[in-house]
């Protein structure tokens, strides 16, 4: 194979040299006939063939194969806008692409050497230059403005009154893991120094809000409700990518990021829409983060609000940090937080009795109700403990 390449290059060099010698000989003989000859017209024609053939192939492939590489319709509110921005940008780029390539290739054909044609000297034109500077400037500014508006929307903190579903996603080599606020509706603080074999999220044990947080196997969100995803990374830069929801944001160690979105189609709806009973929303990593990067796949389930409330209630009862690691917490929690821990444990265990109403109430309501209960409970049981260290 290598020898073939070397031989090919050598043959090419020899051909170029022969051509060069021939042209030099022609110049020495004082003959310039070759310049105006057949090969000049053939080259001009080939520019045209390349122009129309190339553009034809480009448009044919783009439209006939689009179903192969295009995602199904966006399953989130902002996703529709992202797609629209993408389409507008694409339309502008393709228009410029066609115009520029037409001018380059067609002019090479049109203005090929002709013996009797005179060249016009046309050094500058201020009006023309002003126009072709100002129009792109306006178009680019409009594109950037549209993107900036969307960006501020999706990265903004949700309004308190909107009561978004909040969860945290953490990337590490090579998996995604998630954490939900639990019964109190609030995520506890985290601190990387708290990370150990039991506390893989680094839940800060000085903050009792973290005791009831739960870490599910799959991420669930309710359809039609605003979701605020808080993102962090433990080791290197990862990137959360949920293609069907058009969600993508880097996970940067030491610099938490976030993404706000509202899913519009449940997993079941997507299954029947795509006629694919196996369909699941996939979360992938889109930052080459090391050897196992390809394996960083996680699953997102979009539920109806009722299914979500049921799942949330089950998880906060059976899978919370406190219920799974009671012994660990009893050992590790600072002395002044022992009462708070006991209150959380009692609440998790006691919740069993009132599990049913939680299932019936909408998500937001169940969360707010729960957090008030916790406050009342901790107020009454821990009223004389030291001032709260958490924010």
Q: Is 252 exposed, middle or buried (0-12, 13-18, 19+ CB in 10 A)?
A: middle
Cβ at position 253, least distance to Cu ion in Å:
11
User: What does the binding site for Cu ion look like in residue numbers (CB under 5 A)?
Assistant: 238, 285, 289, 296
Strand pairing report for 297-303 and 219-222: parallel
Looking at beta carbons only, is 296 or 344 nearer to Cu ion? 296
The SS3 assignment for 324 reads: helix
Looking at beta carbons only, is 180 or 241 nearer to Cu ion? 241
The whole-angstrom separation of Cα 128 and Cα 120 is 17
Residue linked to tokens 């090479």: 108
Cβ at position 288, least distance to Cu ion in Å:
8
Cβ at position 192, least distance to Cu ion in Å:
18
Identify the DSSP state of 362. -
Closest CA to 167 of 234, 175, 310, 176: 176
Looking at beta carbons only, is 143 or 177 nearer to Cu ion? 177
Q: List C-alpha distances in Å: 360 to 26, 53, 56.
A: 94, 63, 58
Looking at beta carbons only, is 171 or 188 nearer to Cu ion? 171
Cβ at position 233, least distance to Cu ion in Å:
8
Closest CA to 82 of 9, 162, 8, 151: 151
Cβ at position 103, least distance to Cu ion in Å:
44
Cβ at position 236, least distance to Cu ion in Å:
7
Looking at beta carbons only, is 242 or 296 nearer to Cu ion? 296
The whole-angstrom separation of Cα 241 and Cα 379 is 41
Looking at beta carbons only, is 296 or 340 nearer to Cu ion? 296
């Amino acid at each position: 194979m290598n020898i073939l390449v070397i031989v090919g290059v050598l043959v090419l060099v020899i051909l170029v040299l022969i051509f060069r010698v021939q042209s030099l000989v022609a110049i020495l003989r004082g003959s310039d006939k070759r310049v105006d000859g057949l090969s000049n017209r053939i080259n001009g024609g080939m520019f045209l063939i390349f122009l129309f053939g190339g553009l034809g192939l480009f448009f044919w492939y783009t439209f006939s194969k689009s179903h192969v590489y295009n995602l199904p319709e966006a399953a989130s509110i902002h996703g529709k806008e992202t797609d629209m921005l993408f389409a507008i940008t694409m339309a502008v780029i393709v228009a410029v692409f066609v115009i520029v390539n037409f001018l380059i290739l067609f002019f090479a054909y049109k203005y090929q050497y002709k013996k009797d044609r005179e060249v016009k000297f046309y050094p500058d034109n201020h009006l023309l230059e002003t126009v072709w500077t100002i129009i792109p400037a306006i178009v680019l500014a409009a594109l950037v403005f549209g993107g900036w508006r969307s960006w501020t929307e999706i990265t903004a903190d949700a309004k308190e009154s909107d009561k978004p579903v909040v969860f945290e996603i953490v990337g590490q080599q090579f998996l995604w893991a998630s954490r939900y606020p639990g019964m109190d509706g609030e995520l506890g603080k985290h601190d990387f120094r708290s990370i150990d074999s039991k506390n893989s999220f680094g839940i800060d044990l000085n903050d009792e809000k973290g005791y009831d947080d739960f870490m599910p196997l799959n991420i669930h969100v309710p359809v039609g409700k605003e979701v605020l995803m808080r993102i962090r990374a433990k080791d290197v830069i990862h990137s959360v990518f949920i293609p069907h929801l058009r969600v993508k944001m880097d996970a940067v160690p030491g610099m938490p990021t976030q993404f706000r979105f509202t899913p519009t189609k449940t997993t079941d709806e997507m299954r029947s829409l795509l006629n694919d009973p196996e369909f699941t929303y996939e979360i992938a990593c889109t930052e080459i983060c090391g050897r196992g990067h390809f394996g960083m796949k996680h699953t997102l389930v979009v539920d109806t609000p009722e299914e979500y409330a049921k799942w949330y209630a089950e998880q906060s009862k059976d899978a919370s940090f406190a219920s799974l690691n009671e012994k660990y917490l009893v050992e590790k929690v600072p002395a002044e937080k022992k009462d708070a821990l006991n209150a959380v444990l009692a609440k998790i265990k006691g919740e069993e009795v009132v599990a049913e109403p939680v299932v019936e109430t909408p998500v937001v309501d169940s969360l707010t109700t729960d957090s008030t209960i916790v406050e009342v409970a901790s107020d009454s049981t821990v009223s004389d403990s030291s001032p709260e260290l958490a924010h």
